[in-house]
Amino acid sequence: MKKHIYQVILMATFVVAITITVIQADEFQTDIFNSAFADKKYGNCTVTTVTTTYTWESRNEDDLHWVVDVPSTTYEEYVVDQPAQEEISHFETLHHDAVTHEEPIYSIRVKHTFTYLVFYDTYSDYETYVAYDLTDAEVEEFYSYHEVTDYQTENERYVSGYNTIVDQNAYDEEVLVIDQYAHDEVGHYATIVTPEEGHYEMNENIEYGRNNGIFNSEVTTTVEKN
């Protein structure tokens, strides 16, 4: 009996089933047409179903309305303007020169002052000559060449040089050099607004083919094996 049934199945003809279903579209879809084609091969028990769905999409703004999927949100967010940093430093050798000042050296010298008469073409006048630490021979020589009317000597104190006095000797010291100063994190709070997300859907009770629009089609193939 089972063998007879199997032979009947193998001899069955190719069966095509067409199913057209029209349903009212909800939101974006208006009128959906479904057509199903079944290709059955009983030899290897394979069933292939192809479904085509047609959707009317209006292009008229009056037929559409905005649907919010994700509402806009506002929140405060902390923004780092400058991150915190640690101090970076190193030691260097700093040389200090000696601190000094100059003190004068005082000496005594003999000041010679000569007053002598000078004759000119039409008149005569007195002039003064000053010299220091002259010998007796040098004084006599001046007398021999000039008509000296007055001669004086005196001891005079004068600066003959300077002594360098060290107030502080030169020295070296290790000093800390800051390459990067430490500071705390710097930031502020910013107001962040996320945009609203959504989509347009067709209004209800919109007949397909009304005004401007297009038909969309989607083909689905399903293969079943027993």
pLDDT tens for each residue of 25-36: 333 343 333 333
What is the pLDDT averaged over residues 214-224? Answer: 73
Q: Has residue 215 been placed in a domain?
A: yes
Higher-confidence residue: 199 or 41? 199
pLDDT at 14: 28
Does one domain contain both 152 and 108? yes
Q: Has residue 182 been placed in a domain?
A: no
Rounded Cα distance between 103 and 121, Å, is 51
pLDDT at 209: 59
Q: Has residue 130 been placed in a domain?
A: yes
Q: Has residue 83 been placed in a domain?
A: no
Show Cβ contacts of residue 119 under 8 Å, excluding neighbours closer than 6 positions.
Answer: none
Please provide the average confidence, as pLDDT, over all residues in the chain. 78
User: How many separate domains does the chain show?
Assistant: 2
* Most confident listed range (61-75, 117-131, 143-157): 143-157
Q: Has residue 10 been placed in a domain?
A: yes
pLDDT at 194: 94
| Residue 43 pLDDT level (bands cut at 50, 70, 90) | low
Does one domain contain both 109 and 156? yes
Does one domain contain both 100 and 53? no
Q: Which domain holds residue 139?
A: 96-161
Query: How long, in residues, is the chain?
Result: 226
Show the DSSP H helices in the chain as ranges: 2-10, 136-145
User: Does residue 4 sit in helix, strand or coil?
Assistant: helix
pLDDT at 45: 61
Please check whether residue 103 is in contact with residue 165, taking contact to mean a CB–CB distance below 8 angstroms: yes
Burial of 205 from C-beta contacts in 10 A (0-12 / 13-18 / 19+): exposed
Cα dihedral sign, 21-25-31-34: negative
Rounded Cα distance between 20 and 11, Å, is 28
Rounded Cα distance between 207 and 210, Å, is 6
Q: Has residue 42 been placed in a domain?
A: yes
Does one domain contain both 52 and 109? no
Phi first, then psi, for residue 209 (nearest 5°) are 85, 0
Rounded Cα distance between 203 and 180, Å, is 66
Q: Has residue 174 been placed in a domain?
A: no
CB burial readout 138-155, b (16+ within 10 A) else e: ebeebeeeeeeeeeeeee
Q: Has residue 78 been placed in a domain?
A: no
